[in-house]
Structure 1
Amino acid sequence: MSGCGCAEVVTPGLLDLFDARARMIAAARPIRGSERVALAEAARRVLAEDALAGLDMPGVDNSAMDGYALRLAEISLEGLPVALRVPAGAGVLRLPEGGCARIFTGAPVPLGADAVVPQERVHLDAEGRVHVEGELAEGANIRRRGEETRVGDLLLPVGARLDAAAIALLASHGIDEVNVVRRLRVALFSTGDELIEPGSARVPGQVYDSNRAMLHALLALAGCEVLDLGVIADTSLDLQRAFAEARIEADLVVCTGGVSVGEEDHVRPVIERLGGIAFHGVAMKPGKPFALGYLGDSLSDGTPLIALPGNPVASLVGWQLLALPFVQVSQGREAAPLQRFPVTAGFSRRGPKGRRELLRVVLDWTSGAPVARLAGGQGSHMLSAASQAHGYLMIDANDNVEEGHAYGYCPAVQFLD
């Protein structure tokens, strides 16, 4: 693939990684448009409006466990006869004076009862009367009506992404449809005369297009609709045609390859003719030749474009650290914060020159505390290490890695979105 950008040199004018990330987030604009979908189809979708409680939750006072509902004032040495049996799903009954109710988790607490004693804290005498062991406070083990939500309370705010727990919450209020933001439509293509489709016959010098397959999967995981334009030849005319089509059909354009500054890297000049470049070049390794641009008059009014490097690991890192938060904000969500915490390095390594380095590592928990070890070769073309890595050890520019010292670690799981 063209545009490696992996030489160990200090390139002037590169944007700091965190500055670039902040610019990406600031530049993103939420798309307009929504659709109503069945709750069963709403996983990973983004709410287009606040979801409000339609019920008090719980709907009635109910038991938090299996046991016996009773009046505290009636507990005596003689014990209480079991006057009622209340399973989950029963109606609200009234507790007779001088008696208790056998009750099960989730069942409505009978009117008049002011506590539930767990079945483990009672014993039954020969006559079947209930004797309570230990102290019991008023309201013990009773879930009060509306203690979680009241009708009209906010369940989930606009912009919330619907995961399994959120879907369960909505379902618990009888909601079977939700209004969600329409899917972000992303035009995706790779550039490179050397690229061929996986499954096709290969001759020396040709390379299977792994980037497009990877980015298609990442975009789908992020909840996007992907318009796959395939592999575009490394010519200005072909690129211009692809960008023109992408601008009409998509909310966002993502391309990979040809974005560096070599003689065969035509992406940037074409973008500048059809629109402009907001920034190009980030002080990170891998991923330096990353660019944010646009097709049209401006970044705010035109179609935004993210140009990722051609080397696959550089493309992956550029997506995870820079492109993904842009997509999240474009979907009407908040950009997920970049998690970073210290772990001990299990190796030594010469530090990067002039830019932060993201080393692909696995965490070794053998000693009880996490130790980061290299996942394999660290070349920006080496997908084997990236496929095995648990995350990245982030090394500041010009710092050496010393075994036993602590460095910032970013877990890759956060990027699964």
Structure 2
Amino acid sequence: MNCGCAEVVTSGLLDLFDARERMIAAARPVEGHERVALGDAEGRVLADDVAAALDLPGVDNSAMDGYALCLAELCPAGLPVVQRVPAGAGVMHLPGGGCARIFTGAPVPIGADAVVPQEKVSLDAEGRVHVEGEFAEGANIRRRGEESRAGTPLLSAGTRLEAAAIALLASHGIAEVTVRRRVKIALFSTGDELIEPGERRAPGQIFDSNRAMLKALMAHPGVELIDQGVLLDDPLDLHQALGRARDEADLVVCSGGVSVGEEDHVRPAIERLGGIAFHGVGIKPGKPFALGFLGDSLAAGTPLIALPGNPVASLVGWQFLALPLVQGRQGMTPPALQRFPVTAGFSRRGPRGRRELLRVVLDWSDGTPVARLAGGQGSHMLSAASQAHGYLLVDADTDVEEQHAYGYCPAAQFGR
């Protein structure tokens, strides 16, 4: 049943992009770092710049299987094969008037100035090489240091180490790196009605999906999760839990109890131990999102992210607003939102007074992307969110009209 509450226009809401900028501004990196083996560095964030340890490639080498030769010595009679150069061989000298059979990655012999691919070569009855086509000096040769020179910058501090970056470090023989320490995040849900999945459910109780979702989103090598479970709607319990989180964590994330109802006790508990930087963002779903702190100030205390209780609102709040703060605490520069226009494959009355983030799938059957609703758009409906490719971003007081273009944010950009 829809009571129409979602259509009530609330004054004083912070714009989505202003709220995102404020989250980024609040994201001071945690202090401390550690040395880890390269094999354990996936997903961690570099604490220091890394310089190239050597020239790459270390020598001029062949980009393919073929024949290394001096172009000036090509002649109608062909060139005899006088050397064989496999990968891993030392640098050889090419005798004048001959060529070398060479393989990908093998050092180019001194005296050769091109590598001719084997498919462009024919061998006569005497085994002499004849070249088909024209080749320029340096053809198919990877020059020493063309990728990097020893001592030049390789990776910058703040880089999240993923497969390609780890391979780059390994290619320089780097076995250990200095990374920022893990960000300690205290997580809890609030609500007398919440129970753990697997428990026996009584009438009126619901399973805590938010914490399960947020734990999955925080399953990151750069995060140390402190799971505080489900807290009852009790001011004393909340006060004690927030006090523990303030002392143990670098960041606190909670969901539920952040609205303004009589049973929403989270905000008063935060204000007793710290304060609220902002509360309320002009988005649907996700309006009750809040940024607070435990301690003397946002700059000096422990930041706290209060997510809405409705699961899709919580997901949207995490992806668009909470994640960049977490990335900043990890020492990363949060990437800009990717946004590009797509055609709407449906019509829908637009949101009143705030932006709406519709969960959509992209239909490429006609060759260009058309956004279609992934399912029901209620802030409690996880089924559409679980199927969505991303979000159709609809500006406030703007109706969605079929065949018109609207902003689209891909879900893939919201990786952990």
Letter in 2 for 1:317: V
The structure-2 alpha-carbon separation of the partners of 1:27 and 1:6, relative to structure 1 and needing over 3 Å to count, comes to: farther
* Cα shift readout 1:290-341 (whole Å, capped 9, x = no counterpart): 0000001000001100000000000000000000001111111001111110
The structure-2 alpha-carbon separation of the partners of 1:233 and 1:7, relative to structure 1 and needing over 3 Å to count, comes to: same
Letter in 2 for 1:344: T
- Does residue 254 (structure 1) correspond to residue 250 (structure 2)? The answer is no
Residue 67 of structure 2 is matched in structure 1 by 68
Q: Is the 8 A contact 2:181 2:222 kept in 1?
A: no
* Cα shift readout 1:94-152 (whole Å, capped 9, x = no counterpart): 10111000000100001111111111111100000001111111111111111111111
- Unmatched 5+ stretches in structure 2: none
Q: Residues 5-404 of structure 1 correspond to what in structure 2 (within 5 A)?
A: 7-221=6-220, 223-404=222-403
Please state whether the residue corresponding to 1:255 is helix, strand or coil. Answer: strand
Please state whether the residue corresponding to 1:220 is helix, strand or coil. Answer: coil
CA distance in 2 between counterparts of 1:294 and 1:89 reads 58
Q: Is the 8 A contact 2:182 2:221 kept in 1?
A: no
CA distance in 1 between counterparts of 2:343 and 2:336 reads 22
Q: Is the 8 A contact 1:5 1:260 kept in 2?
A: no
Structure 1 stretches of 4+ with a deviation exceeding 6 A read none
Residue 412 of structure 1 is matched in structure 2 by 411
Deviation, 1:184, is: 0.5
Deviation, 1:166, is: 0.3
Q: Is the 8 A contact 2:91 2:110 kept in 1?
A: yes
TM-score normalized by the length of structure 2: 0.98
Deviation, 1:245, is: 0.4
Q: Is the 8 A contact 1:5 1:288 kept in 2?
A: no
Please state whether the residue corresponding to 1:279 is helix, strand or coil. Answer: strand
CA distance in 2 between counterparts of 1:55 and 1:361 reads 48
State the identity as a percent: 77
* Cα shift readout 1:382-411 (whole Å, capped 9, x = no counterpart): 000100000000000000000110000000
* Cα shift readout 1:203-231 (whole Å, capped 9, x = no counterpart): 11001000001111111237311100000
Q: Is the 8 A contact 1:38 1:176 kept in 2?
A: yes
Letter in 2 for 1:80: L
CA distance in 2 between counterparts of 1:283 and 1:400 reads 16
The structure-2 alpha-carbon separation of the partners of 1:92 and 1:333, relative to structure 1 and needing over 3 Å to count, comes to: same
Q: Is the 8 A contact 1:295 1:304 kept in 2?
A: yes
Q: Is the 8 A contact 2:80 2:128 kept in 1?
A: yes
Q: Is the 8 A contact 1:192 1:233 kept in 2?
A: yes
CA distance in 1 between counterparts of 2:388 and 2:37 reads 36
CA distance in 2 between counterparts of 1:330 and 1:223 reads 10
Root-mean-square deviation (CA, aligned residues, Å) is 1.1
TM-score normalized by the length of structure 1: 0.98
CA distance in 2 between counterparts of 1:152 and 1:6 reads 61
Please state whether the residue corresponding to 1:221 is helix, strand or coil. Answer: coil
* Cα shift readout 1:156-195 (whole Å, capped 9, x = no counterpart): 0000001100000000011111110011000000000000
CA distance in 1 between counterparts of 2:221 and 2:262 reads 34
Letter in 2 for 1:413: A
* Cα shift readout 1:15-64 (whole Å, capped 9, x = no counterpart): 01111001110111111100111111111110001111111100000001
Please state whether the residue corresponding to 2:186 is helix, strand or coil. Answer: strand
CA distance in 1 between counterparts of 2:168 and 2:78 reads 40
Letter in 2 for 1:94: H
Q: Is the 8 A contact 1:46 1:331 kept in 2?
A: yes
Please state whether the residue corresponding to 2:219 is helix, strand or coil. Answer: helix
Letter in 2 for 1:301: A
Letter in 1 for 2:186: A
CA distance in 2 between counterparts of 1:98 and 1:145 reads 25
Deviation, 1:7, is: 2.2
Deviation, 1:5, is: 11
* Cα shift readout 1:72-112 (whole Å, capped 9, x = no counterpart): 11110110000000011111111011100000010000111
User: With CA pairs under 8 Å and 6+ residues apart, which has the higher RCO, 1 or 2?
Assistant: 1
